[in-house]
Structure 1
Amino acid sequence: MSFNPLEHRGIPLDRQVRNWRELDVEPVDPDRSDPYTKCRIITMNGIEVEAVFFSHHFNRICPDPEVKKQLAEVRFIEQQQQKAVNWLLPGQASVLETTISYEQVAVDLTAWVSRMEPDPYLQQAYEFGVLEDFDHLYRYANLYEMIEHRKAEKIVGDLTEIMPGRPTLVEHRHPADNLRDPYDKNKTEPLSKLHALTIMSAEQQTMNFYMNVGPQYMEPIARQLYQEIGLIEEEHVTHYESLVDPGETWWERLVNHEYNECYLYHSFMETETDPKVKAIWELHLNMELEHLRLACDLMRRHDGRDPESILAPELPPPVTFEPNKELLRNLLATQIDLTTLGAGYVRDAHERFERMQEQIHGGEKPPSEQVIDQHRERFGQEYRHQPEGPHPVESFRELRIRDEES
């Protein structure tokens, strides 16, 4: 059934403030909850954090007192929403356990978006990035077993495989090669705008998370691994945020943010398996409908345009967390040797890439390789979680060798 958020009135803004008792939500059970419930929580936390950051940036450049007042009122509610959402995560989960869930989000959300993206250039951007997050999941899973003596499959279930992706070793690129060409706001489909905003927000919160939690570990290899992968997350935020057309007005951006929040809360309300969490998605959707209405009014008054001219007439099919094993194995077999050059992609290492590799690694093994070596020394092998059979990249390389010989 189609749903157009522009046709629905939400909870009036002056009735959206919650007291402490209402904000004190019950966290999910880390051992019994659906892994994808945690993924939805992490995703919506990233979306709310981006909404708050965007509103603050808008506030800093806005000269209109009335607009600033409305931004502040809505921003306070967004802050309450972020607290309710993020506090759904279980307090007893360690930083590493939450990290593994963060990377499961990065893998399966980005993979799903790449499957649904109608623009080939944008789709390639998501396919490129997901192979790197896939490798991060593998590195952290090995660290997790070393430090906490538990297996990451207990966190991700059988939904997401854990095995090497594009090696983190080769993900360090010159900053200029992390910039992509933006979509054209006047030509791209509304769905593409929502995809770009969603993945940018998810990667941004991962970058922020690693920036803050990395130094909390005492183990040298843990501190080093968070430092290395944290730098890659900076690359990913640059990669995804540069997809957004910089020519969008602040009013367009505001409306797109609010529409995207409606889209995601509605999606997760439709797909959530935990009734208590589903009720929060439904409540927040009804709040966001009012936020969207207010943003649309601002766009009409200050931008002189109708929001319907830039928004989809109804919400797209729900964003869905689901296994993406087939897609990922295909990408591993066909795109693992890609790197970037300017706004494009190449298969051969180029001078700028090689110079960056020399500068950042200094001729030594980076932490992402050391953690696998240490795991092998301690357990006799690296940690993987996958069905029987050879690694798809190994199989692909064997086929290429046989083709070249023939």
Structure 2
Amino acid sequence: MTFNPLKERGIPLDRQLRNWRELNVTPIDPDRADPYTRCRIITMNGIEMEAIWFSHQFARHCPDPEVRQQLAHVRFMEAQQQRVVNWLLPGLSSVLETTISYEQVAVDLTAWVARMEPDPYLKQAYQFGVLEDFDHLYRYANLYEMIEHRKAEKIVDALTEVMPGRPTIAQHRHPIDNVREPYKRDKVQPISRLHALTIMSAEQQTMNFYMNVGPMYMEPIARQLYQEIGLVEEEHVTHYESLVDPGETWWERLVIHEYNECYMYYSFMQTETDPKVKRIWELHLNMELEHLRIACDLMRRHDGRDPAEVLPNRIPEPVTFEPNKQFIRELIATQVDYTTLGTGYVQEAHERFQRWQEQIMGGEEPPSERVIEENRARSGMEYRMETEGAHPLRLMGTR
């Protein structure tokens, strides 16, 4: 199928407004839904939230009232889309169950992007980050077993393994070591821009989610674990956002945001197994095509450039949620001991890393280690879920 978002016409903006009844979508059934349907919902929520907040920031820096009005009109439609997407999540699911799905997104989306990324430096950034989210999934799965007495396999459905990655205790780095080198806007391939924006958006949404839900727990270990991993997610947002060239104009970024929304909705429309959700992806794609057209017109008028200069000349291969077990195992075998130094990666704990660790630990064991120990004490063993043919490193300790 040939599909070029730059040549398609979507739903006119003045026909996109929906009433309350139309926005009040029926959520998915948590007991019957494909786990990757839930992952696609969480991902698109992050993509929409990033688009909304980018538009707000653009408006705050734009002196042209006509442009601000145009941004506001499109942004309201984006806000309606975000509510529809986020409201697909079932209220029956606990916060912790949704958290485990957030980490499944982080693992399998980032792993897929790492596999597909053509730029070696950007690929390394995604490989580095995915091992940390993989470990977060393991920590939350043990918390889930401990306080809700359920297994994470019910949520991830054996599509994503649950076992240690790079231990969370080893993820606390000095902030300056979380800043990477940005790609060069005049040299990077368009798909790399889309990858960077997608992963940054997903991680940003995860960071925001943990900041908001962490204090809702009564159990001290849960509150503490969300706080610890939430701070690592702050590191991840810094890590990924620093990959984007700061020299990109506001107009460039606007069209890249809108194109990426088209790309993601198109991708998920190709692979969605739930007919009701697929119809929403299709509807939103047709809305986003008009948002992209408006953004392209603004770029031509105000930046004096053709958006085709920065966008793909054809739609890239669809972003796909699929198991990445062997890829993750290979990374564990070869990169689990990596940390960062400046904008690069090293395999030894350098002095700045060690000093930061001493200060942030405050002489105490972190929640990410205690949750494993407490679950062992209560359940008789820690929780892991590995499929057949697991890597020999499956017995690696948590430290």
Contact 1:177-1:342 at 8 Å conserved across structures? yes
Aligned equivalent of 2:210: 210
Amino acid at match of 1:356: W
Residue 193, structure 1, aligned to residue 193, structure 2: yes
Q: Return the alpha-carbon distance in structure 2 between the equivalents of residues 386 and 257 of structure 1.
A: 37
Aligned equivalent of 1:87: 87
TM-score, normalising length: structure 2: 0.98
| SS class of match (2:146) | helix
Unaligned runs of 5+ in 1: 398-406
Amino acid at match of 2:72: A
Contact 1:172-1:232 at 8 Å conserved across structures? yes
Contact 1:332-1:392 at 8 Å conserved across structures? no
Q: Return the alpha-carbon distance in structure 1 between the equivalents of residues 304 and 182 of structure 2.
A: 24
Q: Return the alpha-carbon distance in structure 2 between the equivalents of residues 305 and 371 of structure 1.
A: 53
Contact 1:52-1:75 at 8 Å conserved across structures? yes
Aligned equivalent of 1:30: 30
CA RMSD of aligned residues (A): 1.1
Shift of 1:390: 6.4
Shift of 1:158: 1.2
Aligned equivalent of 1:401: none
Amino acid at match of 1:369: E
| SS class of match (2:6) | helix
Unaligned runs of 5+ in 2: none
Q: Return the alpha-carbon distance in structure 1 between the equivalents of residues 78 and 314 of structure 2.
A: 23
| SS class of match (2:160) | coil
| 1:395–1:143 distance in 2 versus 1, CA, 3 Å | closer
Q: Return the alpha-carbon distance in structure 2 between the equivalents of residues 390 and 252 of structure 1.
A: 44
Aligned equivalent of 1:330: 330
The number of residue pairs the alignment matches comes to: 397
Shift of 1:393: 3.0
Q: Return the alpha-carbon distance in structure 1 between the equivalents of residues 22 and 226 of structure 2.
A: 35
Residue 315, structure 1, aligned to residue 306, structure 2: no
| 1:389–1:259 distance in 2 versus 1, CA, 3 Å | closer
Contact 1:329-1:392 at 8 Å conserved across structures? no
Aligned equivalent of 2:293: 293
| SS class of match (2:277) | helix
TM-score, normalising length: structure 1: 0.96
Contact 2:25-2:88 at 8 Å conserved across structures? yes
Q: How does 1:153-164 map to 2 (within 5 A)?
A: 153-164=153-164
Contact 2:163-2:394 at 8 Å conserved across structures? no
| SS class of match (1:166) | coil
Contact 1:39-1:101 at 8 Å conserved across structures? yes
Q: Return the alpha-carbon distance in structure 2 between the equivalents of residues 339 and 4 of structure 1.
A: 40
Aligned equivalent of 2:165: 165
| SS class of match (2:345) | strand
Amino acid at match of 2:318: P
Aligned equivalent of 1:134: 134
| SS class of match (1:5) | coil
Shift of 1:379: 1.0
Cα shift readout 1:1-44 (whole Å, capped 9, x = no counterpart)? 22110000000000000001110101000000000000000000
Aligned equivalent of 2:277: 277
| 1:247–1:291 distance in 2 versus 1, CA, 3 Å | same
| 1:254–1:392 distance in 2 versus 1, CA, 3 Å | farther
Aligned equivalent of 1:15: 15
Shift of 1:380: 1.2
Aligned equivalent of 2:3: 3
